[in-house]
Amino acid sequence: MSDATQTASERVLLDRERLRDTLLAVAGGDRTAFETLYRLTSAKLFGVCLRILGRRSDAEDVLQETYTAVWHKAGLYDAERASPITWLVMIARNKAIDRARVEAGEPRSAPIELASDIGDTAADPPATVETADGSRQLDRCLKTLEARQRTLIRTAFFEGATYENLASRGGVPLGTVKSWIRRGLLKLKACLEQ
């Protein structure tokens, strides 16, 4: 292995290129490539679905829907716009969130601790090299938000939770949560576009 001489970013770039090529082959109807794509990405996508849905059987169903959609829509993937894994995860998230809205089974009830300070006590999340630039930038911009805005936005992304759910778990009125998140998003946008 030449791994020792290869930088981490080169390796990740190769992985990204491999995924992109696999996705292109899937778009061309290559069934073997489809199986390779599943092998390379299904654990991440299942983790995403499970985090949003909680119940494994729902996450399995959504995983199936996701790959079915990927088989039919792989031709729509635009490498200029997003990395292959981002594209795949966003499809899975959308489907998982839709499923969560339809099922509306047992909404999460774990309280969300909403500190009002601006202090940055959270440990820096580990960043993989693929998203290092974007990751550093998002991280930096999230830190400009109030702690409670940051917590709400991160929780919403990971769990696909509704405003109503976030409000009840955070113990704050719905309108307050909406306004915190919206103001946080606009501030985030201004920072990200600097």
Partner 1 sequence: MSGPDDIAPPSDSSALAAEYVLGVLDAARRREVETRIARDRAFAREVAAWQVHFAPLIDEIEAVDPPLYVWPRIRSAVFGRGRRGGLFESIGFWRWLSAGAGGLAVAALAAVFVMSRPAPTPLPPAAAMVAKINLDDGRPAFLATIDLERGTMLVLPISAAIPADKVPELWLIPPGDVPHSLGVVDVSHPVSITIPPALRAVVGLKAAVAISVEPPGGSPTGQPTGPVIAKGGISAI
Q: Which secondary-structure segment (H or E) carries 136?
A: helix 132-143
Q: Binding to partner 1 (CB under 8 A): which residues in 160-179? A: 160-164, 166, 175, 178-179
Q: Binding to partner 1 (CB under 8 A): which residues in 125-144? A: 125-128, 131, 134-135, 138-139
Using CB under 8 A as the binding rule, whether residue 112 contacts partner 1 is answered as no
Using CB under 8 A as the binding rule, whether residue 86 contacts partner 1 is answered as yes
**For the purposes of burial, counting CB atoms within 10 Å of the CB of 117, is it exposed (0-12), middle (13-18) or buried (19 or more)?**
exposed
Q: Which of 10, 17, 21, 98 binds partner 1 (CB under 8 A)?
A: 98
Q: Which of 7, 9, 32, 68 binds partner 1 (CB under 8 A)?
A: 68
Q: Which is nearer to partner 1, 19 or 67 (CB)?
A: 67
Residue 63: alpha-carbon gap to chain centroid: 15
Sign of the CA dihedral with 59 first, then 60, 66, and 67 last:
positive
Using the contact rule CB under 8 A, the part of the chain among 3-11, 12-20, 75-83, 105-113 near partner 1 is 75-83
| Cα–Cα distance measured from residue 108 to residue 87, given in angstroms and rounded to the nearest whole number | 26
